[in-house]
Amino acid sequence: MEQMRPLETDAIPVLRGTRADGGVGNASRFQVTLAQPIGCRGIGLHTGLPISLRLAPAPADSGITFSRSDLGGATVRARYDTVVDTRLSTVVGDDSGLRVATIEHLVAALSGCGIDNVRVTVDGPELPVLDGSSAEFCFLLSCAGRQVQPTPRRTIKVLRRIRVEDGDAFAELRPAPRSGLSLALSIDFAAAVIGRQNFAMKLSTDSFVRELASSRTFTQRHEIDALQAAGLARGGSLDNAIVVDGERVLNPAGLRHQHEFVRHKMLDAVGDLYLAGHPLQAGFIGHKSGHALNNRLLRALMADSSAWTLTGDGARSASARVAVEEAA
């Protein structure tokens, strides 16, 4: 499948059988993988190189893994404690030098669509950017379909407030009285066309697809030359990013949503927070937060065993304990 053209929000299919509360029919208590493999080919945002992507079913409790076919199948688990860079995207890797970059839009789609276990294979150092949002990843997941697995889905329930700050920016997790993840995010940019924006929603498959999935990554025109001089953003274009210049959006078709900028930042947060390893039962509040603060927040949460508990199987699992010990 060649790189797909951008999708309108109403054209994104919702996974069959999903409910507005994020559950998958009567099987919401159980883990979900893909029904069949699927793939596509696109351009890497930073390398500008063609990248092939393949998504395949994975066993229960395996989570999300990324494999590099160009490196002999070297594999890394997508988890908060395997994040090695957050400057321009979320990058996972290991001590051997394995790196897989720009994972957040796919991981956000997996979270929003309720997929627990998947094996992701790419033949380069980053994922294809596609249209700069999660819309086309949601399309792929819908085409692949779901397979419910006979293993209970576990949830990380936040028990007390955890907050990290960087100047006036912050990210925070709070206990939530009900299941699922609620998010409230605000941004503040000097560019007049962005300015101050805020958005809040309860995450479900329906709300993710309708409110967040098609919101694109963005940059300011004056940043592009510096990025490309540093060998980055070689694959960036008006087809896969919003470019702003002061009071103007340079994309001929304009914006897809009111407040598309803050919606995209929330999309990023959904992807970053799914790297906890299990869905969160929590309230997330962020101001000017990005990949770095989101990852710091998860590390702070998981380092404090009194701040969370693992629900769904009656007790914290040994694998969760190992994850905390490895991150410490």
Q: Is 268 annotated as a binding residue?
A: yes
Q: How many residues are recorded in the chain? A: 328
Residues paired with residue 245 on neighbouring β-strands, in sequence order: 248
Q: Which of 257, 259, 287, 291 is catalytic?
A: 291
**Helix, strand, coil percent values for the chain (each to nearest 5):** 30, 30, 40
- Mutual angle of helices 260-273 and 291-303, in 10-degree steps: 30
DSSP annotation of 120 reads: E
* Locus of tokens 């912050």: 170
CA–chain centroid gap for 74, Å, is: 22
Residue 106 DSSP class: H
CA distance 308 to 244: 40
How much is the CA Rg of the chain, to the nearest whole Å? 18
Compute the distance between CA of residue 150 and CA of residue 140 in angstroms, rounded to an integer: 24
Residue 105, annotated as binding a ligand: yes
Residue 168 annotated as lining a ligand binding site = no
46 is catalytic: no
CA gap 116, 149 in Å, rounded: 10
Of 172, 173, 266, 273, whose CA–CA distance to 212 is shortest? 266
Using DSSP's 3-state secondary structure scheme, residue 173 falls into strand
Q: H-helix or E-strand containing 110? A: helix 104-112
Task: Residue 275: name the closest of 261, 295, 300, 256 by CA.
Answer: 295
Residue 123 burial (CB count, 10 A):
16
Which residues does the annotation place in the binding site? 105, 264, 268
* Residues classed as catalytic: 291
Which residues does the annotation place in the binding site for Zn(2+)? 105, 264, 268
